[in-house]
Structure 1
């Protein structure tokens, strides 16, 4: 089952790919000792940690929502044909993402809204696709919601440090063509999507990082973007990933939002968890614990 109902909202998981990221836990989470990973290895393997090599495992996926008559995509993965010199595994991919989207009953023309929770390269890739040598919006009828702070931060014309980093080329091939087509809407702080959904700023991972809060018919969920990259961060929210641009702020944001999820019995749907993907959390002393895994099966 890759589709569930939360109140009046349908939520489906659409995979781009999943597997090892070529990094050990110590590389992915600087400052975190190997001991914590060894102690939890029994349940982290194989969905979140490689059984043979202890390499971190993640997924790249889209949450596809149907709410108030609209089709909404949350994050769009890495994308095909994209030049990604900083990450060989992402360079010029050829994956069946659109076919997977079709299996969820969604064609590109059906999409009304695309939400990029933040503008890292692996969350904007399918914003565009290559047609006759040109990058064009994949979803021609959609409005693309992007955080203003990230739009400005990742624009190489305003931030030359982007050149040569992981996000190299992403603004040019996955963001600017959508803006040029007049489909981008920028927001900051908070944005009401509809009566079931609202975007909230969740800074730290990037300056404009955000989460999508779902509240419908008594059900609540937190579509958490890159708030966490491993379920071990539930018990240890003090640890940020090497990709968090402001680890201290990311730590505070993670703790606050996990607290909200625990207090509201909200299903948490991170962007990158492999395996069963979704979970419920509960408070445990000064931290948190996994209360239940959600209804999505392992890949």
Structure 2
């Protein structure tokens, strides 16, 4: 954890589980041109773009303390889970739990776990392995799943896909800890759901603030900073790349030049800032910068 943000009567903490290289720029962003990468290399290196033009991603959760609840947004990678990426596979480290402890949060303190979507790197710590069984990591929490996202994941799981459903979602459903919500979901006047489809069918962002959007958690609407500068650059793993690009530009335009704190899931530290205009695109200006 390396930042605390107090805004709008609540507090946001970052809990970083892992920073690791993922894919080359051209694998991640299929429509990226060599000319575009060269034009932007000077500001992408070294924090986002590494050797051999491979993007590094941050894997993190956000803890939000409102006057009424302690909320976890996206639960990172998790331990003991078979995954295709070497850095994710069968992890046994204590980075995530230590990150919670650093902000004086216990597993029992979490009132809600909110998933922007159900991919393996956003639902991993939904559960933990205890005596050979997957059990809810946060025993007192309600887990918030969007109905469209859940139905899509369930369909893919039935066809032999979506590994996070088996060990990060199904145990929550079986334990009776899930709330299946619609697009107009909110908790009081501090928490609201914002549909942001494209990366997955039911991908959502979460907005926080008393009647206004003081902070927003983006999930996988954004993976690398270049997508803020050029919203049309969709990630190769987006289910609908056209929809993803449209959603991204709409989102960035909506929050551009506003006080809303934009909390990204995978961008390099500090990962949090405010959206500002940059030519035909945008940039994320870290809090505290002019």
State the match for 1:36 in structure 2: 36
Q: Residue in 2 aligned with 1:125?
A: 124
How far apart are 1:218 and its partner, in Å? 7.0
| Correspondences of 1:38-117 after superposition (within 5 Å) | 38-50=38-50, 52-84=51-83, 86-96=84-94, 97-117=96-116
Alignment of 1:218-297 (within 5 A): 220-284=214-278, 287-290=280-283, 292-294=285-287
CA contact (8 A) 2:252 2:282 kept: no
| Displacement after TM superposition at 1:291 (Å) | 5.9
Matches for 1:17-36 after TM superposition, within 5 Å:
17-21=18-22, 23-36=23-36
**Separation in 1, partners of 2:213, 2:30:** 36
Deviation at 1:181, TM superposition (A): 0.8
Is this contact kept in 1: 2:157–2:165, CA < 8 A? Answer: no
DSSP-derived class of the 1:283 partner: strand
- Cα deviation, 1:275-296, whole Å, max 9, x if unaligned, reads 22112222345x3322621359
TM-score, normalised to structure 2, is 0.93
1:28-67 Cα deviation digits (max 9, x unpaired): 01121122222211221122111x3221011000000001
Q: Give me the CA root mean square deviation.
A: 1.9
Structure 1 pair 295–147 and aligned structure 2 pair: CA distance change class (3 A): farther
**TM-score if structure 1 supplies the norm length?**
0.90
Report runs of 4+ in structure 1 exceeding 6 Å deviation.
none
Distance of 2:130 and 2:178 partners within structure 1: 20
Cα distance in 2 for residues equivalent to 1:30 and 1:91: 26
Of 173, 196, 200, the match for 1:202: 196
Q: Structure 2: any 5+ residue segments left out of the alignment?
A: none
In structure 1, distance between residues paired with 2:138 and 2:200: 25
Contact 2:274 2:284 in 1 (8 A): yes
| Partners of 1:219 and 1:158 in 2: CA distance | 34
